[in-house]
A and B are shown apart, each in its own frame.
Chain A
């Protein structure tokens, strides 16, 4: 069964510090992975998907099949990055999302 693990419930960093939000997965087959973000009082929204290999708001994520990881990184955190971040692969024919537990990122000034 597909499983996603986000080991940190809370990650607190200072503004300007590097950020790495961890996500590990267990999969059968080729994984497709997304990062979703939920800012305070806003809806869940897609941040990144691994297939696009793009950088959004300075965040990147590389799929590491050897380590079965899809960690989210940003070299310099900003206060507006404070949010809840979810790692999620779609699963099944219907593309339902299976969310990790989420990591709260707090960027302190």
Chain B
């Protein structure tokens, strides 16, 4: 069964550094999402992306965050200047279409900001 692939599985960075988290969607999927989960808290929506633009973003997704799909395959989440509170698991999810289509999740990237 096709899977959403996320790299790296664990990223350690210094505060203030830029990080890029990568996601390879399932090939015929058109809708892409990033979620995050701070340790001990619920999974939170960050951003949705369709047709090469952001469809919706949460309050968490401020100017420090950006997403793109530069080569038509990888879907990336960039954090320009990381803060301690950005430490979390970041999950990519993809979906074939809207309606009641299922979102398939990647295994996640654990981001540790020191």
Interface residues of A (CB under 8 A from B): 32, 42-46, 49, 51, 86, 90, 92-102
| CB-nearest residue of chain B to A51 | B100
- Give the complex CA separation of A57 and B65 in angstroms: 38
| CB-nearest residue of chain B to A91 | B45
| Chain A CB within 8 A of B60 CB | no
Contacts across chains A and B counted by CB atoms under 8 Å:
59
A32 neighbours in B (Cβ, 8 Å): 100
B100 touches A49 (CB 8 A): yes
B12, chain A: closest CB distance, angstroms:
20
| CB-nearest residue of chain A to B105 | A44
A36, chain B: closest CB distance, angstroms:
8
Which of B33, B44, B55, B100 has the most CB atoms of chain A within a 10 A radius of its CB? B100
- How would you classify the secondary structure of chain A's contact residues: helix, strand, loop or mixed? loop
B33 neighbours in A (Cβ, 8 Å): 96-97
| Chain B interface, number of residues (Cβ within 8 angstroms) | 26
| Chain A CB within 8 A of B25 CB | no
Interface residues of B (CB under 8 A from A): 4, 31, 33, 35, 42-45, 48, 50, 55-56, 91, 93, 95, 98-108
17 contacting pairs across A/B (C-beta < 8 A) = A42-B107, A43-B4, A43-B105, A43-B106, A44-B105, A45-B105, A86-B42, A86-B43, A93-B56, A94-B31, A94-B56, A95-B31, A95-B101, A96-B33, A96-B56, A97-B35, A98-B45
Given A94-B55, A100-B42: A46 and B103 within 8 A (CB)? Answer: yes
A86 neighbours in B (Cβ, 8 Å): 42-43
A89, chain B: closest CB distance, angstroms:
11
| CB-nearest residue of chain A to B54 | A94
- Give the complex CA separation of A23 and B107 in angstroms: 25
B91 neighbours in A (Cβ, 8 Å): 43-44
- Give the complex CA separation of A74 and B33 in angstroms: 31
- Give the complex CA separation of A95 and B45 in angstroms: 11
B55 touches A43 (CB 8 A): no
